[in-house]
């Protein structure tokens, strides 16, 4: 990854350790020539820099620029709200007394020079997914980590991964002592249990599964 982009990623607010970001970047380089990528959980754009840097570096099979969509309502997850561990008071919109990460995200991506490659989709994950029909070369799930959001993301998004495409999941903790259960129990394990995904890489809490059976649009259950 170019050093100026790595510096931008390091400087960005967010929750993506550098070694896991490097894996995200590598799998995006591999997959983006074959179709767009989609991230669930933009926050301030830290992981989007690793993905967007890959989009900037590749040419797609049809010669068009590579694109990364990133979905977030920009109101924060449960653990980002006031009183919780990951709350950042600088991200509160005073008028509504609600989190607002959209403006910071936009600056992050503009500073990195990645606006042509990273497209923000602002809304609830399930709402966007209800109307989504585009096959994905790479799906990265890093949205709400409560039980309902994790279930919803699993029901909504993995079906859009192309045959041979990747499903990457963040904050997967097989050991309860290391972190919350929902991404592991309600996304990672069900994806493997579907028989349609096979693990191909792991760093830290990031797991990468390849769609080894089924194709975009086929339900995953």
- Does residue 15 belong to the site contacting ligand SAH (CB under 6 A)? yes
Instruction: Work out whether 47 is an interface residue with ligand SAH (CB under 6 A).
Output: yes
Q: Establish if 20 lies at the interface with Mg ion (CB under 5 A).
A: no
Minimum distance between the CB of residue 217 and ligand SAH, rounded to whole angstroms? 22
Residue 165 is a binding residue for ligand SAH (CB under 6 A): no
Shortest Å, Cβ 164 to ligand SAH: 24
Q: Least separation, in Å, of the C-beta of 153 and ligand SAH?
A: 8
Q: How many CB atoms lie within 10 A of CB 199?
A: 13
Is-contact 132 125, C-beta < 8 A? no
* Residue (108 or 137) nearer to ligand SAH, CB: 108
* 101 forms part of the interface with ligand SAH (CB under 6 A): yes
34 or 154, CB closer to Mg ion? 154
| Residue 87: active-site member | no
Q: Does 35 bind ligand SAH (CB under 6 A)?
A: no
CB-based burial label for 71 (10 Å; 0-12, 13-18, 19+): buried
The contacts of residue 169 (CB under 8 Å, 6+ apart) are: 140, 141, 142, 183, 187, 188, 191, 206, 207, 209
Q: Could you say whether residue 171 binds Mg ion (CB under 5 A)?
A: yes
Judged by CB under 6 A, does residue 20 bind ligand SAH? no
Closest CA relative to residue 105, chosen from 52, 168, 171: 52
Neighbours of 188 (CB within 10 A): 24
Nearest to 125 by CA among 161, 149, 99: 149
Q: Which distant-in-sequence residues (6+ apart) come within 8 Å of 110 by Cβ?
A: none
For residue 136, give the 3-state DSSP assignment.
Answer: strand
Q: Which chain residues interact with ligand SAH by CB under 6 A?
A: 14-16, 41-43, 46-47, 71-77, 101, 124-125, 142-144, 149
List interacting residues with Mg ion (CB under 5 A). 15, 142, 170-171
Catalytic residue ranges: 145
């Amino acid at each position: 990854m170019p050093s100026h982009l790595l510096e931008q990623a390091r400087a960005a607010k967010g929750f993506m350790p550098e070694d896991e970001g490097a894996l995200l970047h590598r799998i995006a380089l591999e997959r983006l020539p074959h179709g767009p990528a989609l991230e669930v959980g933009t926050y301030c754009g830290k992981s989007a820099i690793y993905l967007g840097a890959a989009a900037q570096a590749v040419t797609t099979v049809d010669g068009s620029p590579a694109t990364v969509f990133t979905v977030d309502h920009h109101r924060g997850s449960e653990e980002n709200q006031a009183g919780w561990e990951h709350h950042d008071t600088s991200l509160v919109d005073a008028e509504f007394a609600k989190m607002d990460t959209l403006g910071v995200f936009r600056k992050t991506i503009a500073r990195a020079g990645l606006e042509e490659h990273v497209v923000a989709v602002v809304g609830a994950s399930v709402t966007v997914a209800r109307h989504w029909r585009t096959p994905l070369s790479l799906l990265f799930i890093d949205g709400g980590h409560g039980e309902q959001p994790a279930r919803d993301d699993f029901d909504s998004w993995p079906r859009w991964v192309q045959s041979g495409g990747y499903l990457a999941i963040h904050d997967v903790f097989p050991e309860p002592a290391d972190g919350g259960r929902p991404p592991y129990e309600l996304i990672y394990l069900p994806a493997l249990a579907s028989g349609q995904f096979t693990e191909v890489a792991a760093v830290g809490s990031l797991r990468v599964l390849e769609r080894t059976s089924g194709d975009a649009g086929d339900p995953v259950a």
